[in-house]
Structure 1
Amino acid sequence: MPFAHSFDDTPLWYDVRGNGGGEPVLLIAGNGCDHSVWNAVIAEFTPDRTVIIYDHRGTGKSGNNLTGTWSTRDFARDALEVLLEAGFGRAHVYGHSMGGRVAQWLASDKPAAIKSLVLGATSVGEKRGIPRTPEATKAMRENDSVALRNMCYPEWWSSENPEQAECGEPRPHDMEAFLCHLRASTDHDSWEIASSICSPTLVIHGNEDGITPAGNAEILAARIPAAQLLIVDKARHVYWAGRPEVHQKVSTFFSNAEKGRFG
């Protein structure tokens, strides 16, 4: 069982799936989530390329060395250690929700490690972006799985895919770990650094996202030079649920980035 060790020696479980050509993809999950949030979509990428998944500290098989002072920039340092320990110096980086906030810091601090960047259902932060609704904030603070599931997935999809929907729920070791993640995500502010991101970037958002208001996508895409914007109609926070065409577009974006086609 492979582990990377971050700068404070926290063990971070990771796995490498697939053996396709092209640049690898590093997937970064959201607030309180382990790698299983990606279970429904890993197979959409592995036929063509290698995929690296991992568990955030405080989730899954990773260690739990968390404090209230943790930031999304610190989580980006974790992500870089995973990438390097997996044997790769560069990858396409795909972050969802809090993972998208983490990915922004990774792209800013270590641009040479980024072949391209996909930022899904995320924002520049609550200070300059559009904040969560009180209902979403309450559901997240209480880790209310029923409310969060409804904000993430269409009801029909959850009913037809209950196991996949369950995999997408936060899985922190305990409430303390979950709140450490939530504080890091809530305090995130990438307004200044977003304008310095030089990687080819695709910003994706569902227009019915109940956790991160969809208007954040336009704000974020406007801050990142030459970023592309993809709004998924009638999609919620997990915008790929029941929408395989979304990751077909992501795969095309990866391929175009490798060929130097950013438009």
Structure 2
Amino acid sequence: MTALHYEVHGPSDAAATVLLSSGLGGSAGFWQPQLGALIAAGHRVIAYDQRGTGRSPAALPEAYAIADMANDVREILDATNTSHCHFAGHALGGLVGLQLALDAPSRIERLVLINAWSKPNPHSARCFDARLALLGAVGPRAYVEAQPIFLYPAAWCAAHAKRVADEVDHAFAHFPGEANMRARIAALRAFDIDARLAGIAAPTLVAAAKDDVLVPWTCSLRLTDGLPNATLNLMAHGGHAHSVTEADAFNSTLLAFLSRVDAPAPSPLPA
């Protein structure tokens, strides 16, 4: 198995480690808007390129699953001598966190889910059908050109046109290949742990934006209702990547959650 690329930031003797897991793009660079704030707050931070993306090249099997991605996180935690962490995941990364919380609950102290979900929904399925059709019929360049439409609000894209264009160029230059992209999308589309949410006891911040055009915010409401120790933070604007477009507001909420003192968590129900 090929090694995963990961980065460790901040003080080595920090009281807590925050592991960051990005969405479909898989890149550690997605979390640049959060790194400074987390380090300034005294956290040790681990970010990584997911297997089959960026600096973690690999040919993914067709049966690749979110559970395999959760195993990759355990590999990184072991490699960095991290017994447990706060886990923050965006979209697909949030699914990885949910899976890890089920498979190895002792490894997660707090869980942050950003525009994530517990089971498939027809709207997101339609979006992925369209994206895959574009990839197959036109190719990777058209696929990455469409990506900002799903990530960001239209007004933000217009106001940050050069930044968006640079991101598209970077995504195209580092495209992981059609087979890997199809395997990753198949993994997130197959993910369904809705019936097991009550078994996840970790304190959880569920963060969503109401104008997310890829994942309905009601998926986050469902997570909040199903998880026994969850808090919902709902923003009116910011899109699917509101941790980027509304970084200051998101970071404030994130740091407050990570520093919060909670009452003892309820015992999870049997899986």
Contact 2:83–2:107 (CA under 8 A) maintained in structure 1: yes
Report the more deviating stretch, 238-247 or 182-191.
238-247
- Cα gap change, 1:169 to 1:119, in 2 (>3 Å): farther
Is it true that 1:110 corresponds to 2:104 in the alignment? Answer: yes
Q: TM-score, normalised by structure 1?
A: 0.87
- When residues 169 and 225 of structure 1 are mapped into structure 2, their CA distance, relative to the original with a 3 A threshold, is farther
2:79 matched to which residue of 1?
85
The answer to whether residue 4 in structure 2 is matched with residue 12 in structure 1 is yes
Higher mean C-alpha deviation, range 44-53 or range 159-168: 159-168
The AA in structure 1 aligned to 2:5 is: W
Aligned residues: 251
SS at match of 2:7: strand
Distance 2:162 2:78 in 1: 35
Q: String of CA shifts for 1:181-219, please: whole Å, max 9, x gaps.
A: 101001001112221001000111110111111110111
Deviation per CA, 1:147-196: give whole Å up to 9, x if none. 32022112343333743771895854211111111010010011122210
More helix by share: 2
Contact 2:87 2:110 in 1 (8 A): yes
1:1-263 matched pairs, under 5 angstroms: 9-19=1-11, 21-48=14-41, 49-126=43-120, 129=121, 131-132=123-124, 134-139=126-131, 142=135, 144-158=143-157, 159-160=159-160, 162-163=162-163, 166=167, 171-243=174-246, 244-256=248-260, 259-260=261-262
TM-score, structure 2 as length reference: 0.85
Give the Cα–Cα distance (whole angstroms) in 1 for the partners of residues 62 and 240 of structure 2.
Answer: 26
Specify the structure having the higher radius of gyration (Cα). Answer: 2
3-state DSSP of counterpart to 2:40: coil
SS in 2 for 1:39: helix
**Alignment partners' CA distance in 2, 1:178 and 1:81:** 22
- Cα shift at 1:223: 1.1
Instruction: Give the percent of matched residue pairs that are identical in Structure 1 and Structure 2.
Output: 24
Q: Which amino acid aligns with 1:23?
A: A
Are the equivalent residues in 1 in contact too, given 2:123–2:214 (CA < 8 A)? no
